[in-house]
């Protein structure tokens, strides 16, 4: 995973659950909301920055989080455009796993070009974000409050997304919710020796991603998929879960603080020899990451349809050994989507 200043995502697997309630609740009074934010700021958000290996670290990667944020914005716009009439009554219920400080999804909500996703737009968006790191959850609440969207549009649960009580249930009217996540994908034999153990994604980096795809309760999801974390296996798991890849944006990420640990790089090289990880072999190095929209089109246990055009192009980029094209801002990026 790349690492740079101005963190926008937290370790998604800090030890233990939190104390924040996750059941839908009525908006607090202004006084109660102010008290929560003040307590967050005093107890966590304004505390001295923890050392890099602390469980309280909020993972820093501007490039990856910008990719995730752009993907979430397009994903929600697409879902809003599909909302059945009357649009004034439509509601998009969204769950986020691993919210970090909340800024990627908050930016997606605020920067969207679609009027239907603005706070007073005709489609109501309600995000319930899960974050196990108390410091990150406090930052997310404070950032959402500063944006004027906490908790009615963006609520934060300091809790483990995978706990049974956090499982998704159909919304009113029977609609399944949506899922967005930038799951941990650092490949390593174990968490031992990692600077930030919460980034561990299993031996091939794809454990959390496969676990998310296996959840039966979501009708569509937006997930970050990394070339160094068994992308071929992830896309196969998505098909077996009844999903198809309908759109994506891919970008180059540099090797950062956590992916550059000697034993992690050696493990990635081993996975690469096995065809389970893919890095860019040009002078800049790094790997490809993609924000991928998956749409449920069947039941789990399928994989009868094979790869579509979008998935084929996505896999080609995630497993590429050569550089991707650059946009006008110098960002390496490529994208594809199914025809409407």
Q: What is the CATH number of the domain that holds 177?
A: 3.40.50
Q: Answer yes or no: is 211 within a domain.
A: no
Q: Answer yes or no: is 40 within a domain.
A: no
Q: Answer yes or no: is 193 within a domain.
A: no
pLDDT score for 12:
31
pLDDT score for 91:
80
Q: Answer yes or no: is 137 within a domain.
A: yes
Q: Answer yes or no: is 309 within a domain.
A: yes
pLDDT score for 17:
32
Q: Answer yes or no: is 291 within a domain.
A: yes
Q: How many domains does the chain have?
A: 2
227 and 162 in a single domain? The answer is no
Distance CA 317, CA 114 (A): 28
pLDDT score for 4:
39
170 and 314 in a single domain? The answer is no
Residue where a domain stops, chosen among 153, 182, 211: 182
pLDDT score for 305:
56
Q: Answer yes or no: is 91 within a domain.
A: yes
281 and 163 in a single domain? The answer is no
Q: Which domain holds residue 83?
A: 1-17+57-182
pTM above 0.75, yes or no: yes
pLDDT score for 111:
74
Q: Answer yes or no: is 336 within a domain.
A: yes
pLDDT per residue as tens, the chain (340 positions) = 764 332 223 323 332 333 344 554 555 555 555 555 556 555 554 555 555 555 556 776 899 999 999 999 999 999 988 877 665 557 889 999 999 999 999 999 987 756 666 555 577 889 999 999 998 999 999 999 999 999 989 999 999 999 865 555 556 556 789 999 999 999 999 999 999 999 999 999 999 999 999 998 899 999 999 999 999 999 999 999 999 999 999 999 999 999 999 999 999 999 999 999 999 987 778 999 999 999 999 876 555 556 788 999 999 999 987 766 665 544 556 677 776 5
273 and 328 in a single domain? The answer is yes
């Amino acid at each position: 995973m790349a690492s740079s200043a101005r963190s926008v995502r937290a370790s998604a697997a800090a030890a233990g659950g939190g104390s924040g309630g996750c059941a839908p609740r009525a908006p607090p009074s202004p006084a109660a909301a102010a008290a929560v934010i003040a307590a967050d700021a005093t107890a966590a958000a304004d505390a001295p920055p923890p050392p890099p290996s602390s469980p309280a670290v909020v993972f820093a990667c501007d490039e990856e989080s910008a990719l995730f944020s752009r993907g979430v914005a397009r994903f929600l716009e697409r879902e809003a455009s599909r909302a059945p009439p009357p649009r004034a009554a439509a509601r998009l219920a969204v769950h986020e796993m691993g919210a970090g400080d909340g800024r990627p999804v908050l930016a997606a909500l605020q920067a969207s070009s679609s009027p239907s996703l603005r706070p007073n737009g005709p489609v109501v968006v309600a995000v319930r974000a899960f974050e196990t790191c108390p410091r990150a959850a406090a930052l997310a609440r404070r950032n959402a409050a500063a944006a004027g969207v906490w908790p009615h549009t963006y609520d934060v649960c300091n809790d483990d997304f995978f706990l049974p009580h956090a499982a998704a249930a159909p919304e009113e009217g029977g609609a399944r919710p949506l899922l967005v996540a930038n799951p941990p994908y650092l490949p390593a034999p174990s968490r031992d020796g990692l600077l930030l153990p919460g980034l561990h994604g299993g031996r091939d980096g794809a454990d959390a991603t496969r676990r998310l795809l296996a959840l039966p309760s979501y009708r569509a999801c937006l997930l970050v998929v990394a070339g160094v974390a068994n992308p071929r296996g992830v896309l196969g798991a998505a098909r077996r879960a009844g999903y198809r890849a309908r759109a994506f944006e891919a970008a180059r990420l540099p090797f950062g603080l956590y992916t550059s640990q000697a034993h992690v790089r050696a493990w990635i090289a081993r996975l690469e020899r096995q065809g389970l990880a893919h890095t860019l072999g040009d002078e800049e190095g790094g790997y490809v990451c993609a924000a991928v929209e998956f749409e449920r089109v069947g039941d789990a246990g399928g994989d009868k349809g094979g790869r579509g055009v979008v998935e084929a192009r996505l896999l080609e980029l995630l497993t590429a050994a050569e550089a991707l094209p650059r946009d006008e801002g110098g960002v390496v990026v490529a994208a594809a989507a199914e025809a409407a």
